[in-house]
Amino acid sequence: MDMLAFETMPELPEVETIRRDLARRIVGKTIQHVEVLHAKSVGGRPDLFIKKLFRKKIVGIARRGKLMALELHDGNFVLVHLKMTGQLIYDDGKRVTTGGHPLPIDELPNTWTRVVITFSDKTRLFFNDLRLFGYLKIVDEAEKDRVFSEFGIEPGHASWDCDEFVKIVRRSSAPVKAILLDQKRIAGLGNIYVDEACFRAKVRPQRRGNSLRIVEAQALCKFSDRVIAESLKYRGTTFRHFRDSRGKKGNFSDKLRVYGRAGKRCVTCRSSEIEKIKLAGRGTHYCPNCQQ
DNA sequence: GAGAGTGTTGTAAC
DNA sequence: GGTTACAACACTCT
pLDDT per 10-residue tile (average), chain A, 292 residues: 51 91 94 98 96 98 96 98 90 66 68 96 93 96 96 95 97 97 96 96 97 98 96 82 42 89 95 95 95 96
Statement: the CB of A192 is under 7 Å from strand B: yes
Residues 204-233 of A with CB under 7 A from strand C: 209
Catalytic, out of A25, A64, A66, A261 = A66
- The continuous run of DSSP H or E covering A252 comes out as none
Distance B7 C1' – A78 CA (angstroms)? 23
Strand-pairing partners, residue A115, are A36, A127
Instruction: Specify the amino acid at residue A149.
Output: S
Statement: the CB of A68 is under 7 Å from strand B: no
Distance C1 C1' – A134 CA (angstroms)? 29
Largest CA distance in chain A: 61
Task: Tell me how far apart the alpha carbons of residues A110 and A148 are, in angstroms, rounded to a whole number.
Answer: 32
* Per-residue pLDDT, A240: 59
Catalytic, out of A10, A13, A46, A175 = A10
Distance C7 C1' – A283 CA (angstroms)? 18
Distance B1 C1' – A283 CA (angstroms)? 25
* Per-residue pLDDT, A253: 82
Q: How far is CA A143 from CA A42, A58, A78, A147, in A?
A: 16, 18, 11, 6
* Per-residue pLDDT, A96: 55
Distance B3 C1' – A25 CA (angstroms)? 44
Query: Nucleotide B5: nearest residue by CA–C1'?
Result: A283
Q: Is the pTM of this model over 0.85?
A: yes
* A242 CA: nearest nucleotide by C1': B7
DSSP states of A19-76: HHHHHHHHTT-BEEEEEES-GGGGTT-HHHHHHHHTTPBEEEEEEETTEEEEEETTS-
User: Based on C-alpha coordinates, what's the Rg of chain A?
Assistant: 20
Chain-centroid distance of CA A211 in Å reads 29
* Per-residue pLDDT, A3: 47
* Per-residue pLDDT, A101: 46
Statement: the CB of A188 is under 7 Å from strand C: no
* Per-residue pLDDT, A5: 45
Statement: the CB of A59 is under 7 Å from strand C: no
Statement: the CB of A111 is under 7 Å from strand C: yes
* Per-residue pLDDT, A1: 35
Judge contact between A199 and A286, C-beta under 8 A. Answer: yes
Q: Can A11 be counted among the known catalytic residues?
A: yes
Task: Tell me how far apart the alpha carbons of residues A132 and A97 are, in angstroms, rounded to a whole number.
Answer: 31
